[in-house]
Amino acid sequence: MERHFETRKGKFVIRPYRSGDEEGVLALWEVAFGKKMAPEVWRWKYLNNPYGCQILLCVSEAGQIVTMYSGIPYRAHLEGKTIRMTQLTDSMSHPAYRADRVFARTGREFYEYFAPPEGSVFFYGFPGRFHFKLGQRILQYHLAKNVSFLSALPEDIGGRKRFGGRIERIQRVTYQFDRLAERCQSSYPLFVIRDAAFLKWRFCEHPQYTYEIWGYRPYFHNELKAYAVFTIREQAACLIDILAPDSPAIISDFLFRLAKEYQKRDIETISTWLPEGHFITRALITSGLKPAPEPLGIIPTIRSMDPNWPWQKLSERIYYTMADADLY
């Protein structure tokens, strides 16, 4: 696929990412965002994930990469069917070419090129206000289910103080995560499949961040009932991901026992981002986490490519955590 066009600044081509483009993309990243991306993070995100790569580039006649529109095409469940949905990440353009609308051209080609039947049913992301407004104006972005930011002191988190389950720090991700994801399908109308392959790549192989994976099991057998993933920064525990059945008792007991564990380690706060009104969000609020102002300014965003699934229906069903973003 190649799309050629010309502006007052010369000739350009829009084409997919290919071997040899990494140096040019990282140079664009530094100019667009004012900081560097480590090459190992780039390769982890786009080349070493288990899902493949969706990237279109706009390249000048001189070979300079001036725009990138990109995403990660995850496997997901939508009402019991396995689909592909893409998390939009790192889309950017060179400041010197923004007046020529090369970003909008590249974005339109991206959605056409990676659309069904072979491509993704829909696209989602977590841009800030400026990029959301830009995408809303030129690329059919819509606001997805609002995000709730929750936070509490560990000692303020209550739970079942009687006999319940047990928690353990998980050192090795196994097939039990596949089974947990399958059992949870009926409780999650739309979510990225959180199987062993996803967790290994997202958390165990990340070249920059370190995560703690915790499991929740009944006392009398070894079946994994829920998991949670945290990252610890400056005595603050951030809940990056959680998967559990629609059971307030399990979620409450799990969080209570995790909070007690973090109290022993002098963790000062526990916080998380979750969809507003989701059953996990409600259970965590009941357990003591309190809604607070969202600190990052992110706006959950969605664009549907399937007329049978308009963005409103997708927004009502989607479950997301910070594991579905690339911010942590």
- The 10s digit of each residue's pLDDT in 311-327 is 999 999 999 999 998 88
Q: Is residue 134 within a helix (H) or strand (E), and if so which, with residue range?
A: helix 129-138
Distance, CA of 68 to CA of 42 (rounded, Å): 13
Torsion sign, CA atoms 190, 196, 201, 203: positive
Buried b (16+ CB within 10 A) or exposed e, 193-208: bbbbbbbebbbeebee
Mean pLDDT of 85-105: 90
- Please name the residues in contact with 159: beta carbons below 8 A apart, sequence gap of 6 or more: 252, 253, 255, 256, 257, 259, 287
State the CATH architecture for 3-120. 3-Layer(aba) Sandwich (3.40)
Q: What is the largest CA-CA distance in the chain?
A: 72
Contact 128/298 with Cβ under 8 angstroms?
A: yes
Distance, CA of 130 to CA of 58 (rounded, Å): 22
**What percent of the chain has a predicted confidence (pLDDT) above 70?**
98
At 230, the pLDDT band (50, 70, 90 cuts) reads very high
- Please name the residues in contact with 34: beta carbons below 8 A apart, sequence gap of 6 or more: none
Cα→Cα distances 223→109, 180, 266, 317, Å: 46, 9, 30, 27
Per DSSP, the three-state class of 108 is helix
pLDDT of residue 161: 56
pLDDT of residue 98: 82
DSSP letters of 203-242? IIS-SS---EEEEEE-SSS----EEEEEEEETTEEEEEEE
Please check the confidence at residue 246 and state whether its pLDDT lies above 90: yes
What letter represents residue 308's amino acid?
Answer: N
pLDDT of residue 158: 83
> Exposed, middle or buried, 132 (CB in 10 Å: 0-12/13-18/19+)?
buried
The answer to whether domain 3-120 and domain 147-294 are alike in fold is yes
| Residue 263 phi, psi dihedral angles, 5° rounding | -60, -40
- The 10s digit of each residue's pLDDT in 262-314 is 999 999 999 999 999 999 999 999 999 999 999 999 999 999 999 999 999 99
C-alpha 157, offset from chain centre = 26
- Please name the residues in contact with 70: beta carbons below 8 A apart, sequence gap of 6 or more: 17, 46, 53, 54, 55, 56, 88, 89, 90, 91, 110
pLDDT of residue 53: 87
Distance, CA of 255 to CA of 258 (rounded, Å): 5
Compute the mean pLDDT over every residue in the chain, rounded to the nearest whole number: 93
Mean pLDDT of 231-241: 95
Q: Is residue 112 within a helix (H) or strand (E), and if so which, with residue range?
A: helix 102-113
pLDDT of residue 101: 87
Residue that has been written with the tokens 């259970």 in this structure: 283
- The 10s digit of each residue's pLDDT in 112-150 is 999 888 889 999 999 988 888 988 888 899 989 899 999
Distance, CA of 312 to CA of 221 (rounded, Å): 41
- The 10s digit of each residue's pLDDT in 140-194 is 999 898 999 999 999 999 865 556 799 999 999 999 999 999 999 999 999 999 9
Contact 21/58 with Cβ under 8 angstroms?
A: no
Distance, CA of 50 to CA of 78 (rounded, Å): 19
pLDDT of residue 93: 93
Indicate the CATH number for domain 147-294.
3.40.630.30
Tell me which residue of 12, 107, 4 sits closest to 65, measured CA to CA: 12
Extents of the domains making up the chain: 3-120, 147-294
